């Protein structure tokens, strides 16, 4: 079935470091891909999304490009801040309109 | 506007009791989803409502779990004869049309603890 595999954490970076969180997917067709973020004590929020191949989603300095050839949707940010500390979830929607999530990657950014 | 709201925010119950969890979706959203977030299983889909169509119950883990959506708006997730493994955060989400390109907006969740 459709599924998402994302890089396991936790990830600890210093402020202003470059961030990559890998995400690959398995689907029989072309799903929509999402990154959600969960800040400490808060609910899930959409960070960005891409709905077709080669689309790039971006928000708050984060970017991810829908790569059909590598079935990937890696999350990147050029310079992380302490306030980016959160758990990041890669997700897809394809067949049944329910969202399939990766296991989540906890990011801690130290000053 | 108002986001997705859920109540209660926390629920502690004893094993074997029934619980009801409520979700108020964003006004005008036709699709409503329930998910469960637990340490061992991550985020799992439970059930999906779209308009007046029959719900997709394919994610419900057992027949102790059921959900209703009244009037195309508010939804209630019921867990009968709760077990300790039901302890988790139950998340509700809604989207405008329920298509695969639609963003799902999540509520803050209900943390259920079964003693």
Q: Which residues contact B3 (CB under 8 A, 6 or more apart)?
A: B26, B105, B107
Distances (CA, A) of B75 to A16, B30, B72, B93: 43, 12, 8, 11
Q: Tell me the per-residue pLDDT of B76-110, one tens digit each, with 9 for 90 and over.
A: 999 999 999 999 999 999 999 888 888 999 999 99
Share of chain B above pLDDT 90, in %: 75
Name the minimum distance, in Å, from the CA of B17 to any CA of chain A: 27
Q: Tell me the per-residue pLDDT of A32-87, one tens digit each, with 9 for 90 and over.
A: 999 999 998 888 999 999 999 999 999 999 999 999 999 999 999 999 999 999 99
Q: Which residues contact A36 (CB under 8 A, 6 or more apart)?
A: A44, A45, A46, A47, A88, A89, A91, A101, B106
Chain A neighbors of B45, CB-CB under 8 A: 98-100
Does the beta-carbon distance from A98 to B91 stay under 8 Å? no
Q: Tell me the per-residue pLDDT of A4-23, one tens digit each, with 9 for 90 and over.
A: 999 888 999 999 999 999 99
Q: Per-residue confidence at B58, pLDDT binned at 50, 70, 90? A: confident
Using the Cβ of A40 and the Cβ atoms of chain B, whether some distance falls under 8 Å is answered with: no
Does the beta-carbon distance from A97 to B100 stay under 8 Å? yes
DSSP state at residue A73: -
């Amino acid at each position: 079935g459709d599924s998402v595999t994302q890089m396991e954490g936790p990830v600890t970076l210093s402020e202003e470091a470059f961030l990559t969180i890998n995400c690959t997917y398995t689907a029989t067709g072309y799903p929509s891909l999402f990154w959600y973020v969960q800040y400490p004590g808060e609910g899930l929020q959409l960070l960005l999304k891409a709905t077709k191949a080669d689309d790039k989603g971006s928000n708050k300095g984060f970017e991810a490009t829908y790569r059909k050839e590598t079935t990937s949707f890696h999350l990147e940010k050029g310079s992380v801040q302490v306030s980016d500390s959160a758990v990041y979830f890669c997700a897809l929607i394809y067949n049944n309109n329910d969202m399939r999530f990766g296991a989540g990657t906890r990011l801690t950014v130290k000053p | 506007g108002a986001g997705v709201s859920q109540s209660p925010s926390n629920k502690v119950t004893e094993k074997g009791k029934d619980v009801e969890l409520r979700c108020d979706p964003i006004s005008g959203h036709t699709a409503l989803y329930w998910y469960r977030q637990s340490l061992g299983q991550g985020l799992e889909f439970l059930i999906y409502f779209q308009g007046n169509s029959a719900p997709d119950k394919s994610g419900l883990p057992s027949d102790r779990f059921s959900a209703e959506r009244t009037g195309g708006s508010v939804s209630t997730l019921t867990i009968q004869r709760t077990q300790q493994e039901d302890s988790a955060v139950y998340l509700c989400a809604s989207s405008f049309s329920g298509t695969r390109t639609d963003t799902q907006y999540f509520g803050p969740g209900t943390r259920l603890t079964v003693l």
